[in-house]
Amino acid sequence: MKAVSRLLGEPVTRSSPLGGAAYRVETGSRTVVAKRGPVEAEAAGLRWLGEHGDVPVPEVLALDDDWLITEYVESGSPQPRAAEEFGRGLAALHARGADAFGAPPPGGPVDAWMGPEPMRNVAHDTWAAFYAAERIEPYLRTAADRGLYGPAEVAVFERLCARLDQLGVPEEPPARLHGDAWSGNVLWSADGRVWLIDPAAHGGHREGDLAMLALFGTPQLDRILAAYDEVAPLAPGWRDRVGLHQLFPLLMHAAAFGGGYAGQALAVARGVG
């Protein structure tokens, strides 16, 4: 933890793993989170998402080429009022917008990460073009190269990509997305708020973040979605498109971990394509 001490300008007194490459670190005056790895994209995402305070995100305290230091948030239990506030805040955050579909946060790199897999943030004129080129095809190629899909299965995804603009996804301006809003990145804090952590932020379709919330079972999801819909009504049929938006994280998980994720992604592609 010498790097953490150097970045903060004070000695580290204790550290403990939080999972992955993240650590809970105590100094003489405060507790922080230190995360090692490619951190430039995450730091830019946290700053972008937290720019207007719509949803709490950890403050970026320091970083270098290898380490990101952010404030530590004490966890608590899910509460109905917090869920509703989060839903309204998420709607406001999405409405802040982005420069384009696929655009990285200001100052953020094109080459970012989604969990253990690389993720490119490249601007496109339409959601369909972005989603096919940057969120389906790269992970499909990786999964196929690893023997998870043969030519017939690959063709299912290719046909879907060719028809994305015909599947009813409403034409909306690009939203300011967290990008990896599964339940593990939704932190219910001890002070009764909901924080977003570990972003893969980019410009995208707002239905994408909502689909991620549903993928692994975010607590109080019905309250979150109801409050969101009150502030920013969702287009008819959005629930029918959840699977389409979940295809990206499912393919990413298939590329990274294989197993049942490959079958889930293929089933979704067949169902919506």
The one catalytic residue among 125, 165, 180, 191: 180
Distance from C-alpha of 237 to C-alpha of 243, rounded to nearest angstrom:
12
Contacts of 248 (CB under 8 A, 6+ apart): 131, 135, 136, 139, 208
Check if the beta carbon of residue 41 is closer than 8 Å to that of residue 110: no
Dist. CA 173–CA 190, nearest whole Å: 35
Contact in structure between 195 and 78 (CB atoms under 8 Å) = no
CA atoms of 105 and 43, how far apart (whole Å): 10
Is residue 125 part of the annotated active site? The answer reads: no
Q: Do the beta carbons of residue 266 and residue 158 sit within 8 Å?
A: no
In whole angstroms, give the CA distance from residue 100 to residue 105: 10
> Concatenated DSSP letters for 11-48?
-EEEEEEEETTEEEEEESS-EEEEEESS-HHHHHHHHH
239 Cβ contact partners less than 8 Å away, ≥ 6 residues apart: none
Catalytic residues: 180
